[in-house]
Structure 1
Amino acid sequence: MSAGSDLEKPVESPVEKPVATNVTIEDPDEGLDPAEKARIERRLLWKLDLRLIPWLSLLYLAAFLDRTNIGNAKIEGLQEHLGMTNTQYNNSLTIFFISYSVFEPVTNVMLKRFRPRIFIPIIIILWGICMTTMGLVHNYSGLMAARWFLGLAEAGLFPGVSYYLSCWYKRREFGIRMAIFFSAAALAGSFGGLLAAAIANMDGIGGKAGWCWIFILEGLATIVLGVMSFWLVYDFPDTATFLSEIDRKRVLYRLAADQQSSAEHEEWKMSYLWASLKDWKTYLAAIIYMGTDGSLYAFSLFVPTIINELGYTSTKAQLLSVPPYALAAILTVFIGWVADRTRARGICNIVMATIGAVGFAMLLGAKTAGTRYAGTFLGAAGIYPTISNSITWTSNNVEGVYKRGVTLGIMIGWGNLNGIVSSNIYRGKDAPNFYPGHGTVLGYLTVFLLGGSILQTILLRIENRKRRRGERDYRIQGLTPSQIDLLGDQRPDFIYTT
């Protein structure tokens, strides 16, 4: 990624500015002039960006490619060769989301306890094996088993990396990095269409159909990435080996000054779980993410089929699925940059959700293939940027390393559970118009994503006004500085990002 001065330059927010609190970590650059400190900070961020973002983005590209390439395999004959009905095909999509969602909430705790450079490579190798076996199955039952274990193995990556990155960057820096990381999902859509079109030409080699080779080759590539990750994934800032001792202190100090207790060690306590479960933001974040994630899986799993039903051949449908994803990747990074600069994450969600709703309204109501194809562009543009923005929004507003991890796990797990709905709304009998599918996604975008974002923006602004007026100061009366820090985002001087 490009991590030039424009990305790293500290920007004063015109919207919210957190009030400084007690920082117990010593500033290793105390006494240096501001220009020299800024130069050191830019160099440090450049080092972090180069070491963390490109490889993690590549891993997520592989993850998203592996979970959605079944849509590409379908139009290359998977369903017919395995003798599956339309319902059985949708079941093979659904079972992934069951195991994926059920195990997702606990994975952030496992990531913290077993360390990223061990936990992440292991789950990558496991899902690569599952992916490869999908190309070796001979019937519906075998595909269902492979998809179940694929969801189980993949469950730890996305919430884990979302939480992991929030432990390295300040709140105003996190959004653009998360956006670049998640843009890999959109690139996976583009890359997946091109790759599937190429691999399908291997039909008959080794006695395997073209769709088999899509799974086998992509699964083997994932296993290689997993092995390499033992050397290319790093632990948390306090023990990361690629940083010098003084750079580790700089990272920890920056996070502490940004009011993030992720900068310090925490031991797991059940109180962190209860703190998340008692916080209204956890549930509203889950509703918002439900709106964007349910829409995402419907789009990514079925866009090749949707385009194919517009009258194009399978190869042309694979290729025509590339441009909407390319636009989505660009907008994901752009919205991440805008939201970091303005801290108006709610407004960004509202605008993009509206664009996505217009796109699916076009898919629902338009009659010509060209207009409906244009709707896929707007749909992708409205869905993909809101995934990373919603996660960053939640990360910005939940303080404490374990509470944030639990909250993100609940939020993302609930969102992915809606993949069960998404995988069953585009039914073969509804082709070529797919009215139930398009209508359901339109509802997800308008009710949950748009409506939830509007409500959370209003509630957070009301709460910020109360904190600025001193109406929450009673929470710290009689407490020591260390006890105040333990309040996390319930501290009266913690100002929410809206």
Structure 2
Amino acid sequence: MDTKTSPPASDTATPVQPPVYNADMDTSGVDERKLLRKLDMALIPWLSLLYLLSFLDRTSIGKAQLYNLEADLHMTDDQYLISLTVFFFSYAIFEVPSNVFLKRLRPSIWLSLLMLLWGVMMTVQGLVHNFGGLVGMRWMLGTFEAGLFPGVNYYLSCWYKRSEFGIRAAIFFSAATVSGAFGGLLAAAISNMEGVAGKPAWAWIFILEGLATVLAGAASFWIIQDFPDTAKFLTEAERTVVIRRLQSDDQFSAAGEVLKWKYIWKSLLDWKTWIGMVIYVGADMPLYAFSLFLPSIINQGFKATPANLLTVPVYFFACCITCLVGFLADRYGHRGFFNIGFLCIGGAGYIILIASRNAALSYFAVYMATCGIYPVIPNSIAWVSNNVEGSYKRSVSLAMVISFGNINGAVSSNVYRAKDKPWYPLGHGLVLMYIMFGIIASTTYHFALRAENARRDRGERDEIIGKTDDSQLNEKNGRFDTVEDAKREKGDEWSGYRYIL
């Protein structure tokens, strides 16, 4: 049996402090509280607007369907489902490469370019005349939209401490709920343009929303900021404070990191990445099913325009609960407990939807369903991000987690079939199954992280630091000249790193 011998006190990692970033810079005049507000105002509002437009664009087809989209394009129900599905394949395929490009390039260029291009695709979607044209535009829309959501979540994680990231991710993601509410109102308003310039209402929904995205994408070249070490809206002292506070939060790579393939392989081989993928899919597949088919679900008791309008209070509630959970999880921690609790509420909502044959009861259950979807998405992203160190590793891990969730959006596009109207038992049952996946994976992740923290507390992950002639020391955890070398090489595998539960 291999007995581990602890290294001498002089060789242990814990008492050594990392070198100060930009050590010659005097930061005494920087007020951290004011700096944090400055970051929030410069980053969150515009990025949230971009995601609002993104989610509006990808889900507007569900609202356009209520205004004779299928009949005008001579599509069957199966063809309509294919046009929903194809978006998710291109969306998922390009998420990981896009996050790597984002790290290599300037966010102000990469994110703006993506948005400009998907705005063009959205606009052209309103000019198609047949099923083939719609499918082609949906594929291209997914290709260019792929980089925004994983890119912005990774980008925000490069600015904030782990205990600050959750509420920002929640506010950013809440733009999806606002887009749901706003989209219903907008679709109802645009439907009045039926016949203008010879185009039907559904075409105008695509064209006007697409043109708004093009304008926002063009403006983003001047509005989106770059990473902390080069951001022009900060002074040199403020940039230094941002990076120092990140490094004090065990984000050792905040000052910069050179791309190495081993960082990407570390993400691919990390068990946390794979469990995180299952956690995320437990809310993301239900998210797309919910957003694409909510008008149709409500339509079981109401006509098209009232059904769109009745989505508004649902999304308003989702926005409030998402921001509340983001705030509480940042303040109190225990992201795993928040995930499990709210997924259970969402599951109860879908059980009611399966059993209900009353429109009013189903409408009430929809509010419960939002609790298992909207707050869980940003909380899961924050949870995964909190437990991955290394800027490239984190960018790939987040992209893989989000990509896996989105590829399962292809499932959500096909489970609410026209022949199952008006109660959709198959669709609700499959969404409930995914929510159960999320509950099981969140529970597994929580206890696995807790067990790993306990091993580190017992010293089972200690590295050997410095030179020593003691042949009894166990080198399986690595030998490094300095603690900084261990942090840089091992990232979140470093013995002093503690995972967030």
Q: Same fold (TM over 0.5)?
A: yes
Deviation (angstroms), 1:342: 1.1
For residues 72 and 21 of structure 1, do their structure 2 counterparts lie closer, same or farther at Cα, with a shift above 3 Å needed? farther
Deviation (angstroms), 1:304: 0.6
**Pairwise CA RMSD of aligned residues?**
1.6
State the partner residue of 1:9.
none
State the partner residue of 1:467.
456
Larger Rg: 2
State the partner residue of 1:347.
337
Count of residues in correspondence between the two structures: 474
* C-alpha contact (below 8 Å) 1:56/1:181 kept by paired residues: yes
State the one-letter code of the partner of 2:349.
Answer: G
* C-alpha contact (below 8 Å) 1:179/1:388 kept by paired residues: yes
Q: Does 1:214 align with 2:201?
A: no
* C-alpha contact (below 8 Å) 1:117/1:229 kept by paired residues: yes
Deviation (angstroms), 1:20: 8.0
1:496 maps to which of 472, 478, 499? 499
Q: How does 1:404-419 map to 2 (within 5 A)?
A: 404-419=394-409
Find the aligned partners of 1:21 and 1:335 in 2 and give their Cα distance: 36
* C-alpha contact (below 8 Å) 2:417/2:424 kept by paired residues: yes
State the partner residue of 2:323.
333
Q: Render the CA deviation track for 1:265-296: whole Å, top value 9, x for unaligned.
A: 11111101111112100100001111111110
Q: Render the CA deviation track for 1:67-118: whole Å, top value 9, x for unaligned.
A: 0010000011111111111100000000000100011111111111121000
Q: Render the CA deviation track for 1:280-328: whole Å, top value 9, x for unaligned.
A: 00100001111111110011011011111x2211000000111111111
Q: Normalization by structure 1: what TM-score? A: 0.93
State the partner residue of 2:42.
51
Q: How does 1:57-72 map to 2 (within 5 A)?
A: 57-72=48-63
* C-alpha contact (below 8 Å) 1:21/1:257 kept by paired residues: no
* C-alpha contact (below 8 Å) 1:167/1:262 kept by paired residues: no
Percent of aligned positions that are identical: 52
Find the aligned partners of 1:471 and 1:363 in 2 and give their Cα distance: 48
* C-alpha contact (below 8 Å) 2:415/2:430 kept by paired residues: yes
State the partner residue of 2:174.
183
* C-alpha contact (below 8 Å) 2:18/2:484 kept by paired residues: no
State the partner residue of 2:239.
248
Q: How does 1:115-134 map to 2 (within 5 A)?
A: 115-134=106-125
For residues 121 and 83 of structure 1, do their structure 2 counterparts lie closer, same or farther at Cα, with a shift above 3 Å needed? same
* C-alpha contact (below 8 Å) 1:282/1:410 kept by paired residues: yes
State the partner residue of 1:426.
416
What is the SS of the residue equivalent to 1:473?
Answer: coil
Q: How does 1:6-405 map to 2 (within 5 A)?
A: 22-26=17-21, 40-308=31-299, 310-405=300-395
* C-alpha contact (below 8 Å) 1:290/1:418 kept by paired residues: yes
Deviation (angstroms), 1:261: 2.6
State the partner residue of 1:7.
none
Q: Normalization by structure 2: what TM-score? A: 0.92
State the one-letter code of the partner of 1:473.
Answer: D
Gaps of 5+ in 1: 1-18
State the one-letter code of the partner of 1:264.
Answer: A
Deviation (angstroms), 1:493: 1.1
Find the aligned partners of 1:238 and 1:356 in 2 and give their Cα distance: 41
Find the aligned partners of 2:159 and 2:303 in 1 and give their Cα distance: 46
Deviation (angstroms), 1:29: 11
Find the aligned partners of 2:16 and 2:140 in 1 and give their Cα distance: 45
What is the SS of the residue equivalent to 1:75?
Answer: helix
